[in-house]
Structure 1
Amino acid sequence: MVVSGAFSRMLPWSIPTPLVQILLGCLIGLSTSYSVSLDPELFLLLFLPPLLFLDGWRIPKDELFKDVSTVVELALGLVLTTVIGMGLFINWMIPAMPLAVAFALAAVVSPTDPIAVSAIAARVPIPKRMMHILEGESLLNDASGLVCLRFAVAAALTGTFSAGGAALNFLWVAGAGLVIGVAVTLVVSRAKAWVTRRWGEDTGSQILVSLLIPFGSYMLAEHFHASGILAAVSAGVTMTFAEISREAMAVTRMRRNSVWDTIQFTLNGIIFVLLGEQLPAILAEAKATVAITGHTQPGWLALYVVAIVLGLAALRFAWVWLSLKFTILRKRQSNGGKDMAPPVGTPNWRLVAAMSFAGVRGAITLAGVLTLPLVLNDGTPFPARDLAIFLAAGVIIVSLVLASIALPVLLKDLTMPGEPSKQAEEDAARVRTAEAAIKAIERHQHRLAESRGDADRYAAAGGRVMDLYRERIEGLSEDERDAAREQERLFRDFRLVGLKAERAALGELIRTRSVGGETIRKLTRELDLSEARFRG
């Protein structure tokens, strides 16, 4: 994973990091006789709860709610359509694969992976609104796809399936999972806040608690036969609101963000490296795997992968086109009728194609397919398990390759509908917080002067700080805004030049051993915080 991060930056072509990780994983699989094998349930527990929890925690809630109808259409409607349509298509194309297993395969290839999309589009930035839709879709379709997988596996294990029973079971699985995730986060947050108020905050414990919440939510939901996946997602979404009134210390938030960034990078990277590590063994058994389909040539497997990818792309293109068409129609109707609204237009085909190719498959698909049971209830091997894993792995790789080629072309110079500027909102928030700070400083000045005397000293110290806030308010006024922003930009540039010189001078002091370790750590931290502020 460390090497893959370096390679993806060194290569002149826009090759996404997941593809580099898969290739390096293949080298590991080809160069050693050792192999990694994980119990499916253990694999599901280790990788999915923290990744889904973090997605729910960090996704912008306002942007998600703004396009919630589009997100739900993609995350629920498209997933169900994909599971049913592709399940029937795969079973028709490969009659040797039982229908329940075909539905299971369709369920695991239905979720999309926004992390892979971000890596692909690193050199051609995806418009923010499109990325927010893709993030929201991924957050929900991970859960809906994996819930469908659960029902398909249950049907394969038992050999029976009842639509009515499945509907009732789905309500319990989904509803109880969501409630448990919310409840666990709220209870843990309240308990943590109660302890902190009485005995102070320990940064390490706070970070560890945040890491344990997704696993606790997942395991508790699974204990009650609910969806651990949905529990992890709802726990992450709730975490945003639970922390609004129970603020952690700044140092805790900074360190926790760093830890979670590492966790996310590590888990996603491990999954792709594991996929590459297992590919040689999967390909080595290609002859035995293709025999399941009734053919003898391994080339048939590649044909099946391409057919599934094309089928997924066609379904997604049609769904996105219809979704945008209905969105345009709804906006036209909300504008007051035919006379006041512009005529219904046709969605931009490049936009639809970009949204279609952006639906790449990644870590969740691989994690889901590897959770297929090894044996049925009677002890016989799970039918076509190796074939399903091969096809899912092929879909991941082909979709990544196609997206890495097509997305830069489709997104280049693509004009998106204008988005309202957030600058006025940001300015208003800065003024409001600055005014609150000035009032708080004035009150603190009076308290100190009354209790300790020497009012002039406190007035001078408080005045210096209040002047900084007054400069902010004046700089954000209508008349001086542009000039103030230009001054702020110049100030930031000069500060970065000064910080660079400070860091070089500190390095010289370290080399000559003119300062001790404690001083080095303190000054380095101050420089790091200042640089992060001005570069951010």
Structure 2
Amino acid sequence: MQTVALVLALLLAVTLSRSLARLTRCPLPLVQIGLGVLFALGPLPSVELEPEIFFLVLLPPLLFIDGWRIPKRDLFRDGRLIVALAIGLVIFTVVGMGYFIHWMIPAMPLAVAFALAAVLSPTDPVAVASVASSAPIPRRLMHILEGESLFNDASGLVCLRFAILAATTGSFSLSEAAASFVWLAVGGIAVGVLGTFAVTQLQRVLTAHIGEDGGTLTLLSLLIPFGVYLLAEAIGGSGILAVAAGGVAMSFVEAGGRAQALTRMRRTAVWDTVELAANGAIFVILGEQLPRIVQDATATIGADGSGALTLVLYVVAINLVLVLLRFLWVWATVHVVRIRLRFMKMEARTVSPQLVLATTLAGVKGTVTLAGILTLPVVLADGSPFPARNLAIVLAMSVILSTLLIATVLLPPILSHLRLEAEADDDERLAFEASGAAARQAIEAKHDLLLKDGGDAELLAEAAARALHRYERREGGAGTDDATVARARHIRRAARELQLAGLEAERRSLFTLLRRRQVDDGVVRRLVRQVDLLEARLRED
């Protein structure tokens, strides 16, 4: 009963947090963390957070939907920069930050310092989007940050696994670590892609034989991330990479456009709710854990003759070094990409200092940092306590809070002066072109259907007029005799068939543009949703 009460209290806190964020104009993650602190001071029992369950329950759906919805056109266009940030920056941060933390805190073993650095390397674009709501991040930059976070979660957690192994066993082999990394990456990606395609193929076979059940297909899409995560972990691969790769694979499956309109609409609504609840629950849990961990960490530092001031200095120093390392890597990577483009005689635009600074400050820590640091074991292999565990946890959580605050204060003024390209105009142009191409396909499909069936020419002409003028006002009937009613019924049926044929052709045209990467995923998703709404309305009539 207590578990049920805790879950309901978490969901209530997440629900209230959005209204409070709008009223106070405070970033949503900070509001949720504050509610978590109040939650910890309330009458309900404290949340006993088990890292394995935390990873399994909350992370798979979030990473899966991120991979599913990330724009593939931008992902391939900025692939080199995303890979450099997702893998190169993580390794650079782990090495540089690990040695710095060990130098600053000699009582923390080097392996533990590397573990702390590993969980501090991934970023959280959801938190960035929240704190930058007053000055929205440019679309292309946001997509780069989304791609980075999608894959640096896996690389950061892989580095964490090796660091924990070195801390608990006292040994580390670079060759074994490299081989393990390759297997984790290859095995995880393979399980994610093949598992997603296998499930969706089975779904197509069943649908072809017994028809489409929207509720069942929606539930099946929710189970895919958990299934590929568990399977990848069972074979020693990366469950995080499996979920991310499965989400990307799911986007290609969706581009086939085989699901019915109502199924897509229901599935989108369910996934939006799951994403809202999981993201909010993570930050509420962070706030709920914060008072107890700060108390434990302060007691641990006090045992060494230091106090809270030392803890604050540690957090400030770690944040400064994190910003410096990220700034150096982003600056170097962007300029290397520009140099390569020039060498290939491709267009290379000037990179503004504001862009590099905004990308640097957008490295906000969040869900994976919280989940990863809590996986630190309590004892070593010989049964002795894990060194500096409480200190590492409180430092990680303090960095999450401080990066959120830094981004809240500094990102909006920087972003207000940052201009990449006329993205809004470009989106509108692409949407207009895609909509026009889809409309042409719809008109052709209606004409083909008219020519296909000779029938009553007068009836078909009237049906076509109604189909081509969707919102034409219905006129009162000229009579009420059976023949007139029957003819009106036939006209409505024919007009409905023509409209459905046009909408299907319109949707096929949009998905074709998406598969050819001629239009951004977000544009196609918005236009397809409009078509789906019209089709659902027609089928209800």
TM-score of the aligned structures, taking structure 2 as reference length: 0.81
Q: Is the 8 A contact 2:261 2:533 kept in 1?
A: no
The one-letter code matched in structure 1 to 2:352 is: N
Gap change, CA 1:457 and 1:393, over 3 Å in 2: same
How big is each residue's C-alpha offset from its partner over 1:492-528, in whole Å with a ceiling of 9 and x where there is no partner?
Answer: xxxxxxxxxxxxxxxxxxxxxxxxxxxxxxxxx989x
Partner of 1:285, secondary structure, is helix
**Is the aligned partner of 1:6 residue 2:19?**
yes
The one-letter code matched in structure 1 to 2:319 is: V
The one-letter code matched in structure 1 to 2:320 is: L
How big is each residue's C-alpha offset from its partner over 1:134-170, in whole Å with a ceiling of 9 and x where there is no partner?
Answer: 1111111111111111111122222211001111111
Give, in angstroms, the shift of residue 254 of structure 1.
Answer: 1.1
Give, in angstroms, the shift of residue 377 of structure 1.
Answer: 3.1
Match of 1:401 in 2: 405
Q: 2:176 and 2:112 mapped to 1: Cα distance?
A: 19
Q: 2:56 and 2:237 mapped to 1: Cα distance?
A: 14
**Is the aligned partner of 1:170 residue 2:170?**
no
Match of 1:310 in 2: 320
How big is the alpha-carbon RMSD for the aligned residues of Structure 1 and Structure 2?
2.5
Q: 1:171 and 1:180 mapped to 2: Cα distance?
A: 14
Which of 36, 61, 77 lines up with 1:50 in the alignment?
A: 61
The one-letter code matched in structure 1 to 2:277 is: T
Match of 1:191 in 2: 202
Give, in angstroms, the shift of residue 434 of structure 1.
Answer: 2.4
Q: Is the 8 A contact 2:297 2:390 kept in 1?
A: no
Gap change, CA 1:303 and 1:203, over 3 Å in 2: same
Q: 1:271 and 1:430 mapped to 2: Cα distance?
A: 39
Give, in angstroms, the shift of residue 364 of structure 1.
Answer: 1.5
* Equivalence map 1:85-100=2 (5 Å): 85-100=96-111
**Is the aligned partner of 1:373 residue 2:384?**
no
Match of 1:477 in 2: none
Match of 1:516 in 2: none
The one-letter code matched in structure 2 to 1:314 is: L
**Is the aligned partner of 1:231 residue 2:235?**
no
Give, in angstroms, the shift of residue 179 of structure 1.
Answer: 0.4
How big is each residue's C-alpha offset from its partner over 1:144-202, in whole Å with a ceiling of 9 and x where there is no partner?
Answer: 11111111112222221100111111111110110010010000000001111111111
Q: 1:9 and 1:389 mapped to 2: Cα distance?
A: 31
Give, in angstroms, the shift of residue 444 of structure 1.
Answer: 2.7
Q: 1:439 and 1:287 mapped to 2: Cα distance?
A: 72
How big is each residue's C-alpha offset from its partner over 1:446-497, in whole Å with a ceiling of 9 and x where there is no partner?
Answer: 4443xxx42321232024324669x99xxxxxxxxxxxxxxxxxxxxxxxxx
**Is the aligned partner of 1:260 residue 2:260?**
no
The one-letter code matched in structure 1 to 2:458 is: D
Which of 464, 467, 470 lines up with 1:465 in the alignment?
A: 467
Give, in angstroms, the shift of residue 409 of structure 1.
Answer: 1.3
* Equivalence map 1:344-355=2 (5 Å): 347-355=351-359
The one-letter code matched in structure 2 to 1:324 is: V
Give, in angstroms, the shift of residue 247 of structure 1.
Answer: 1.8
Partner of 1:421, secondary structure, is helix
The one-letter code matched in structure 2 to 1:319 is: W
Partner of 1:124, secondary structure, is coil
Partner of 2:426, secondary structure, is coil
How big is each residue's C-alpha offset from its partner over 1:340-380, in whole Å with a ceiling of 9 and x where there is no partner?
Answer: x99x96x4222221111111111111111122223333333
Gap change, CA 1:428 and 1:124, over 3 Å in 2: closer
Q: Is the 8 A contact 1:98 1:383 kept in 2?
A: yes
Match of 1:357 in 2: 361
Q: 1:290 and 1:416 mapped to 2: Cα distance?
A: 46
Match of 2:457 in 1: 455
Structure 1, gaps ≥5 residues long: 473-524, 531-536
* Equivalence map 1:135-154=2 (5 Å): 135-154=146-165
Match of 2:515 in 1: none
How big is each residue's C-alpha offset from its partner over 1:202-224, in whole Å with a ceiling of 9 and x where there is no partner?
Answer: 11111111111011000000100
Q: 1:526 and 1:260 mapped to 2: Cα distance?
A: 17
Match of 2:447 in 1: 442
Which of 298, 304, 321 lines up with 1:287 in the alignment?
A: 298
Q: 2:184 and 2:250 mapped to 1: Cα distance?
A: 21
The one-letter code matched in structure 2 to 1:462 is: A
Q: 1:21 and 1:422 mapped to 2: Cα distance?
A: 32
Gap change, CA 1:430 and 1:418, over 3 Å in 2: closer
The one-letter code matched in structure 2 to 1:201 is: E
Match of 2:3 in 1: none
**Is the aligned partner of 1:325 residue 2:361?**
no
Q: Is the 8 A contact 2:188 2:237 kept in 1?
A: yes
How big is each residue's C-alpha offset from its partner over 1:228-267, in whole Å with a ceiling of 9 and x where there is no partner?
Answer: 1110010000001122225211111111111111111111
The one-letter code matched in structure 1 to 2:364 is: V
**Is the aligned partner of 1:387 residue 2:391?**
yes
Q: 1:353 and 1:229 mapped to 2: Cα distance?
A: 29
Partner of 1:376, secondary structure, is coil
**Is the aligned partner of 1:114 residue 2:125?**
yes
Match of 1:489 in 2: none
Q: 1:526 and 1:149 mapped to 2: Cα distance?
A: 45
Match of 2:4 in 1: none
Q: 1:210 and 1:65 mapped to 2: Cα distance?
A: 25
The one-letter code matched in structure 2 to 1:396 is: I
Gap change, CA 1:423 and 1:270, over 3 Å in 2: closer
Match of 1:510 in 2: none
Q: 2:168 and 2:457 mapped to 1: Cα distance?
A: 79
Gap change, CA 1:33 and 1:386, over 3 Å in 2: farther
Task: Work out the percentage of aligned pairs sharing the same amino acid.
Answer: 50
**Is the aligned partner of 1:298 residue 2:295?**
no
The one-letter code matched in structure 2 to 1:382 is: F
Q: 1:245 and 1:16 mapped to 2: Cα distance?
A: 37
Q: Is the 8 A contact 1:286 1:298 kept in 2?
A: no
Q: 1:415 and 1:440 mapped to 2: Cα distance?
A: 42
Q: 1:62 and 1:121 mapped to 2: Cα distance?
A: 24
How big is each residue's C-alpha offset from its partner over 1:74-130, in whole Å with a ceiling of 9 and x where there is no partner?
Answer: 111111000111011111111111211111111111001110011011111111111
Match of 1:476 in 2: none
Number of aligned residue pairs = 465
Give, in angstroms, the shift of residue 316 of structure 1.
Answer: 0.8
Give, in angstroms, the shift of residue 288 of structure 1.
Answer: 2.4
Q: 2:427 and 2:137 mapped to 1: Cα distance?
A: 18
